[in-house]
Amino acid sequence: MIEKIRFKHMNALQLENEWLRIVVIPELGGKVASMYKKDKQFELLFQHKENTYRKPGRYAAFVEYDAAGFDDAFPSIDSGRVLVGNRELEYPDHGEIWTAEFSYSIESGDRVRLTFQSPVFPYRYQKQLVLQEKTLLVRYAITNTGDAAFPCIWAMHCLLRCEEDMEIEFPPGTQKVLNVQDSEILGSAGQIHSYPFTQGKDGREYRLDRVLPAVSGSTKKYYCYGPVQEGHCGVYYPTQKVRYRVSFDKEKLPYVGFWVTEGGFRGDYNCALEPANGYYDAIAIAEKNNALYRLAPAETLSFAIAMELD
């Protein structure tokens, strides 16, 4: 069942079946604002603290807005000037999609198709959302509408609600992570740490598959070191007896980042497992690492994300 609703003073679409209730906001980049497990009365996604959303402009700073729910980061995460053909373009902070207003259609009564044609960059962006029992399936199709290769990073910026006993499940085979943010705990960006146990800057042992309490006042970001071996990861919430699992094509999204704020950013307590096609965050860094995707003229990048909540 799909119905039009108002969610925090925004027009939204609600997809619902026996197990899940999903809220999508087309005019905020097709943001998935809520993923709710009905039998456990469990909300997976970190929620916007205010009673209403503000609509950001294309070049808005991501940190000045809601930082909640599931946004798509495209065509980059970090802002910066990028050469596309013979033109130098300014890529926005966390990309353009999170600020974009999508048109939508409801298909076959049970799925939503969202479409956006960028007025600034050479691409058309489509995604289709459908509920399949306990899984939200999101299919993407991103087409280069220009005449030059388009350097781009896609990342799943999906902020999950933290609980102190939650267990982070990185892709099987993960043995090392690359720290990509200067941290009081993990030290300077560029350091490699063992997974899941590692020694922090203070000499103490930390578990990277756990989160610290919300009062810790820290933030961290790191990536699985190099391409992942398997295309799935997730979180288990023992107190709630709920497991979240995200599955993806590891050939198209070969990298997985992890962000967590344990009270260190605005007092928030959330984390995000972020499958991505670039390594990592900025176009220039991914190019230096030989891990930058270039979408060829007329090419369509197609992939899917399956989010299961059981």
Q: Which pLDDT belongs to residue 241?
A: 97
Q: Is residue 121 part of a domain?
A: yes
- 33-46: b (≥16 Cβ within 10 Å) or e: bbbbbeeeebebbb
Q: Is residue 282 part of a domain?
A: no
| Segment holding 132, helix H or strand E | strand 123-132
pTM for the full predicted model: 0.96
Nearest 10 degrees: Cα torsion 147, 148, 151, 153 = 20
What is the C-alpha to C-alpha distance for residues 182 and 42, in angstroms, rounded to an integer?
Answer: 33
Give the tens place of pLDDT for each residue, 128-157. Answer: 999 999 999 999 999 999 999 999 999 999
Q: Does residue 256 share a domain with residue 112?
A: no
Q: Is residue 118 part of a domain?
A: yes
What is the C-alpha to C-alpha distance for residues 62 and 47, in angstroms, rounded to an integer?
Answer: 15
What is the C-alpha to C-alpha distance for residues 174 and 196, in angstroms, rounded to an integer?
Answer: 8
Q: Does residue 111 share a domain with residue 35?
A: yes
Q: Does residue 28 share a domain with residue 124?
A: yes
Q: How many CB atoms lie within 10 A of CB 175?
A: 11
Q: Which pLDDT belongs to residue 120?
A: 97
What is the C-alpha to C-alpha distance for residues 308 and 242, in angstroms, rounded to an integer?
Answer: 10
Q: Is residue 286 part of a domain?
A: no
Q: Does residue 300 share a domain with residue 253?
A: no
Q: Is the dihedral of CA 157, 211, 224, 42 positive or negative?
A: negative
Q: Does residue 122 share a domain with residue 207?
A: no
- Mean local confidence (pLDDT), 35-41: 97
Q: Does residue 302 share a domain with residue 270?
A: no
The single residue listed with the structure tokens 């799935």 is: 232
The single residue listed with the structure tokens 């992890």 is: 258
Q: Does residue 174 share a domain with residue 146?
A: no
Q: Does residue 116 share a domain with residue 173?
A: no
Q: Does residue 164 share a domain with residue 136?
A: no
Q: Does residue 119 share a domain with residue 14?
A: yes
Domain CATH number, residue 117: 2.70.98.10
- Structurally, the chain folds into a number of domains equal to 2
Q: Is residue 3 part of a domain?
A: yes
Q: Does residue 298 share a domain with residue 186?
A: no
- pLDDT tier for residue 232 given thresholds of 50, 70 and 90: very high
Q: Which pLDDT belongs to residue 59?
A: 97
Q: Is residue 281 part of a domain?
A: no
Identify the domain containing residue 52 by its residue range: 1-154+293-310
What is the C-alpha to C-alpha distance for residues 233 and 244, in angstroms, rounded to an integer?
Answer: 8
Q: Is residue 68 part of a domain?
A: yes
- pLDDT tier for residue 226 given thresholds of 50, 70 and 90: very high
- pLDDT tier for residue 32 given thresholds of 50, 70 and 90: very high
- Strand pairing partners for 205? 199
Q: Which of 143, 171, 131 is nearest to 253 (CA)?
A: 171
- pLDDT tier for residue 6 given thresholds of 50, 70 and 90: very high
Q: Which pLDDT belongs to residue 109?
A: 87
Q: Is residue 288 part of a domain?
A: no
| Segment holding 288, helix H or strand E | helix 283-288
Q: Does residue 138 share a domain with residue 3?
A: yes
What is the C-alpha to C-alpha distance for residues 216 and 200, in angstroms, rounded to an integer?
Answer: 14
Token pair of 38, please?
Answer: 């009905």
